């Protein structure tokens, strides 16, 4: 099982195929396994890099709040590219993974060839809205501490199907990774200068408005709404989802 050690924290990753790199990041309480349905389609012409964020899947779950942050997550992504000898990549993810992909662009714009923003929100401009989101994240943390894995069973498919070696890591990730502290990501959108694809499931009601907003704010962004799909659009409708990604990559010579 390949891992990258980051100051004592082992980060799980896997690679598929050869060619230009595509780095995909899972959503909160999901794992790299949520992308199984994309491996065949994307690894034909690309090196597909999948990984588990801190507190998730087969990566470590430190009992230290200072081991989780937006900055550490984007640094983990950069370290994976360094480890695998890629100067840049197409960067994408679902939900929290999409948000972190935008944060990665903020921190390492020169390393991003394009963005894949999937069933994602860009954060909040107002402190009050951000605090409501953070309250929700802390409630999730409390539920996981109280109920363990059973707290995930009623959620989206990519969450309910995931396996984690340390379920308590999700509580730490909810409190210190899922929570947000600044509006920097949402404020970044008009300054993005790479091809960007915004994907959302038509039944993912909480994220439809956010997806429309990002499509309008990111210069030249394209949007694809996947019919009969919810929050896990890539799992609900893998063929339509894969076609959208492959078409976008081909169109932009990626």
3-class SS at 208? Answer: helix
The answer, yes or no, to whether residue 38 has pLDDT greater than 90, is yes
- What whole-number percentage of the chain has pLDDT above 70? 98
The answer, yes or no, to whether residue 246 has pLDDT greater than 90, is yes
Segment 48-66 shows an average pLDDT of 97
Segment 223-241 shows an average pLDDT of 97
pLDDT class for 170, splitting at 50, 70, 90?
Answer: very high
pLDDT tens per residue across span 128-150: 999 999 999 999 999 999 988 77
Q: Of 211, 108, 213, 51, whose CA–CA distance to 226 is shortest?
A: 211
- What whole-number percentage of the chain has pLDDT above 90? 93
Ramachandran class of 217: left when φ > 0, alpha when ψ lies in -120 to 50, beta otherwise: alpha
65 neighbors 176 (Cβ within 8 angstroms): yes
* Mean pLDDT (the chain, rounded): 95
- Say how far apart CA 209 and CA 219 lie, in whole Å: 17
- Say how far apart CA 152 and CA 193 lie, in whole Å: 37
Chosen CATH of 3-251 out of 3.30.200.20, 1.10.1030.10, 3.30.450.40, 3.40.50.1820 = 3.40.50.1820
pLDDT of residue 154: 62
- Say how far apart CA 173 and CA 178 lie, in whole Å: 6
pLDDT tens per residue across span 184-209: 999 999 999 999 999 999 999 999 99
């Amino acid at each position: 099982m390949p891992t990258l050690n980051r100051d004592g924290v082992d980060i799980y990753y896997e690679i598929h195929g050869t060619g230009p790199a595509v780095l995909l990041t899972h959503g909160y309480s999901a794992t790299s396994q949520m992308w199984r349905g994309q491996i065949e389609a994307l690894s034909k012409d690309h090196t597909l890099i999948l990984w588990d964020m801190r507190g998730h899947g087969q990566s470590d779950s430190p009992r230290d709040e200072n081991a989780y942050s937006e900055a550490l997550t984007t640094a983990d992504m950069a370290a994976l590219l360094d480890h695998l000898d890629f100067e840049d990549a197409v960067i994408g993810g679902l939900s929290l993974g999409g948000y972190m992909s935008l944060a990665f662009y903020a921190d390492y714009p020169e390393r991003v060839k394009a963005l894949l923003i999937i069933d994602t929100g860009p954060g909040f401009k107002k402190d009050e809205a951000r605090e409501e989101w953070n309250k929700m994240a802390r409630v999730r943390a409390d539920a996981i501490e109280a109920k363990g894995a059973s707290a995930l069973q009623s959620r989206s498919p990519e969450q309910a199907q995931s396996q984690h070696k340390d379920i308590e890591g999700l509580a730490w990730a909810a409190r210190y990774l899922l929570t947000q502290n600044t509006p920097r990501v949402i404020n970044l959108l008009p300054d993005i200068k790479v091809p960007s694809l915004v994907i959302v499931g038509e039944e993912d009601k909480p994220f439809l408005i956010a997806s429309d907003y990002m499509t309008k704010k990111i210069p030249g962004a394209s949007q694809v709404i996947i019919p009969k799909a919810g929050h896990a659009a890539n799992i609900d409708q893998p063929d339509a989802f894969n076609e959208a990604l492959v078409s976008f990559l081909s169109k932009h010579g990626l």
